Chains A and B, each alone.
Chain A
Amino acid sequence: MSEHAAVGKLKQSFSEDVLDIVEFRGETTIVVKKERIVAISTFLRDELGYNFLCDLCGVDYLGTVPRFMVVYNLYNIALKDRLRIKVPVEENDAKIDTVSVVWGTANWHERECWDMLGISFNNHPDLRRILMADDWEGHPLRKDYPLQGPDREPYQGRLQ
């Protein structure tokens, strides 16, 4: 069983929604269902003290189902403790509720996640591209997006 105090409490309150718990290099990752992310986030902030969202990003696991993971790196300023939440998101329904109502800082992180990976956030106050130009097509950090850019031949190596 996991040592992390937050795991037990989260399991108690959201027993149906915790999918997996991973311990790696002393860090705890909790995988939860996407439907309850706002409720879980609010619980983590208000009941367990994870008041600081360090980072939010998406990861594209092309070829697996579900394709995407949205990752929330949380911090508890009082206990100086880190916790990671991951939420699977399917490719054909690449949408998840925004947590910018829970942590205001999520606003720009979610915009970046939309821009780079094409994961959309329901009820987001201002979901526009942030790093790429407004009329850009595609989402560069997807694994099927070529490194050289959309309209370029893939790099064949120097010697060919």
Chain B
Amino acid sequence: MAHNEIMTVNMGPQHPSTHGVLQLILELDGETVVKATPHIGFLHRGVEKLSEHRTYHQTIPLTDRLDYLAPMSNNLGYVLAVEKLLDITDKIPARANTVRVMLAELTRLKSHLVWLATHALDIGAMTVFIYCFREREAIMDIYEKISGARMTSNYFRVGGLSADLPAGITDDIRAFAVAMPDHIEMYEGLLTGNKIWQKRTMGVGCIDAAAAIDIGLTGPALRSSGVDWDLRRDNPYSGYEDYDFEVITRAEGDTFARYKARLDEMRESCKIINQALDKLAPGPILADCPKVCLPPKKDVVNSIEGLIHQFKIITEGFKPEAGEVYQGIEAPKGELGFYLVSDGSAQPYRMKIRPPSFVNLQALPQMVEGSLLADVIAAIGTLDIVLGEIDR
């Protein structure tokens, strides 16, 4: 056998542990990764191009399909950006904001459950997978009752919500938020003290704070490297400043730290959901902006103004004044940003999405180079990527 022979291995795009259609070209020296080159774009659908040819409302369903594990977070980021462009952020009714926060946190739980399930499955802990999907199913049922769809919710609207919450749903959400911390305890019981789990995650995929900021990591991945930054607290939106929650940070910057940080974050999400349920009061769900928000059906059939507004919004859309805004939100995977440029027409002139997974994936080579091939699987899992939003 020749020494120092580098072997090139193709991993993906049809590999189950790449969480979608990610292709990695790995150059190996024995079992050690010398170089890792991600190839992306297999799922590119041209969302940004499409949005330039649609009205602002028509783009909301496209955002569902970015990070399809957290559709409501995408909806939220997009509608907040459009509301900022229209300068109607202050007009969003309290009930709509509370429901948005509640559902965004429920979405965070949903996303983190899939992350934990697949991450654990990838590195050999099969049982957790089934339990996580059981809880995720409960969230899907809530999603279905609220929006009619289990995944592509398309529920938020520019100015508020598409419909009010169905009767009795708050009881389901309350029951879930009360039961969830015990489930998280159980996941911890299966993993945290587990020697195999610790061996597979501790000291694996390390990244320090300076490198994490340089490469652009956000969300739990950045906070696990000791950077105390959470947009919900630092640049609050939708009334997050009124909720009492902790921002979880860890110092170690390894896969185990990211695991612990996300689990603790799920507990905080349960707290926020409970607070939102306490806060939830009856009231309007759409802003009083007749040129932007679709009127209630009874106004459409009973008043000429309602009919005209409905007709105008459906056929033409609304026209924000020319300008540009950037809105970032704390999505489950990190900072999800929408940069919108308006030229005064009914379509965005340019929409740029800043997907957290795209930027987080960029850190993969430096996290795995020099480590073992098996740790690549752990590193992909811990970055919590979704190819739908990477490729857009």
Residues on A close to B: CB < 8 A?
24-25, 27, 29, 51-55, 57, 59-60, 71, 73, 75, 77, 80, 82, 84, 103-105, 107-109, 116, 129-133, 140-141, 145, 147
* Contact of B354 with A73 in the complex, beta carbons under 8 Å: yes
Chain A: which residue is nearest B87 at the CB level? A25
Known contacts A25-B85, A107-B362; A140/B325 CB under 8 A: no
Inter-chain contacts of A108 with B (CB < 8 A): 358-359, 362
* Contact of A104 with B215 in the complex, beta carbons under 8 Å: yes
Chain B: which residue is nearest A53 at the CB level? B216
Comparing B41-49, B158-166, B247-255, the segment that makes contact with chain A is B41-49
* Contact of A131 with B235 in the complex, beta carbons under 8 Å: no
Distance of A142 Cα from B160 Cα, bound (Å):
33
Task: Identify B339's interface contact among A55, A129, A133, CB under 8 A.
Answer: A55
Distance of A133 Cα from B42 Cα, bound (Å):
9
Interface centre among B213, B326, B392 (most CB of A within 10 A): B326
Distance of A27 Cα from B326 Cα, bound (Å):
8
Distance of A99 Cα from B41 Cα, bound (Å):
23
Which residues of B in the span 351-391 have a Cβ within 8 Å of any Cβ on A?
352, 354, 358-359, 362, 391
* Contact of B337 with A55 in the complex, beta carbons under 8 Å: yes
Inter-chain contacts of A77 with B (CB < 8 A): 213, 227, 229
Inter-chain contacts of B349 with A (CB < 8 A): 59
Distance of A109 Cα from B390 Cα, bound (Å):
12
Task: Identify A130's interface contact among B41, B48, B214, B216, CB under 8 A.
Answer: B41
* Contact of B350 with A59 in the complex, beta carbons under 8 Å: yes
Whether B64 sits at the interface, judged by CB under 8 Å, is: no
* Contact of A24 with B44 in the complex, beta carbons under 8 Å: no
Whether B234 sits at the interface, judged by CB under 8 Å, is: yes
* Contact of A130 with B339 in the complex, beta carbons under 8 Å: no
A129 to chain B, nearest CB (A): 8
Whether B330 sits at the interface, judged by CB under 8 Å, is: no
Distance of A25 Cα from B321 Cα, bound (Å):
11
B337 to chain A, nearest CB (A): 6
Inter-chain contacts of B341 with A (CB < 8 A): 59
Task: Identify B337's interface contact among A54, A59, A116, A133, CB under 8 A.
Answer: A54
Chain B: which residue is nearest A143 at the CB level? B52
Whether B84 sits at the interface, judged by CB under 8 Å, is: yes
User: Dominant SS at the A interface?
Assistant: mixed
Inter-chain contacts of B25 with A (CB < 8 A): none
Inter-chain contacts of B216 with A (CB < 8 A): 52-54, 103-105
Distance of A60 Cα from B16 Cα, bound (Å):
38
Inter-chain contacts of A129 with B (CB < 8 A): 41
Contact size range, B:
35 or more
B383 to chain A, nearest CB (A): 14
Distance of A136 Cα from B182 Cα, bound (Å):
51
Please name 23 pairs of A and B residues whose Cβ atoms are closer than 8 Å in the assembled complex, sorted by A. A25-B84, A25-B87, A25-B323, A52-B216, A54-B326, A54-B337, A55-B326, A57-B350, A73-B326, A73-B339, A80-B234, A80-B235, A84-B326, A104-B216, A105-B214, A107-B362, A108-B359, A131-B392, A132-B44, A140-B46, A140-B49, A141-B49, A147-B53
Which residues of B in the span 301-330 have a Cβ within 8 Å of any Cβ on A?
323-326, 328
Whether B11 sits at the interface, judged by CB under 8 Å, is: no
Distance of A125 Cα from B341 Cα, bound (Å):
29
Task: Identify A29's interface contact among B213, B215, B324, B354, CB under 8 A.
Answer: B324
A151 to chain B, nearest CB (A): 15
Known contacts A55-B339, A55-B352; A24/B323 CB under 8 A: yes
Task: Identify B325's interface contact among A24, A57, A104, A109, CB under 8 A.
Answer: A24
Distance of A52 Cα from B323 Cα, bound (Å):
23
Task: List the 3 closest pairs (A to B, CB-CB), nearest first.
Answer: A105-B216, A131-B41, A55-B354
Instruction: Mark contacts of B32-74 with chain A using CB atoms, 8 A cut-off: 1 yes-contact digit, 0 otherwise.
Output: 0000000011001010111011000000000000000000000
Distance of A24 Cα from B87 Cα, bound (Å):
10
Inter-chain contacts of B335 with A (CB < 8 A): 54
Inter-chain contacts of B211 with A (CB < 8 A): 104
Distance of A158 Cα from B379 Cα, bound (Å):
47
Chain B: which residue is nearest A129 at the CB level? B41
Interface centre among A51, A60, A73 (most CB of B within 10 A): A73
Inter-chain contacts of B392 with A (CB < 8 A): 131
Distance of A59 Cα from B341 Cα, bound (Å):
9
Inter-chain contacts of B234 with A (CB < 8 A): 80
Distance of A140 Cα from B362 Cα, bound (Å):
23
Distance of A125 Cα from B373 Cα, bound (Å):
25
Chain A: which residue is nearest B86 at the CB level? A25
* Contact of A147 with B49 in the complex, beta carbons under 8 Å: yes
Distance of A116 Cα from B229 Cα, bound (Å):
31
Inter-chain contacts of A133 with B (CB < 8 A): 41
Distance of A53 Cα from B392 Cα, bound (Å):
20
Known contacts A25-B87, A59-B341; A54/B354 CB under 8 A: yes
Distance of A153 Cα from B210 Cα, bound (Å):
50
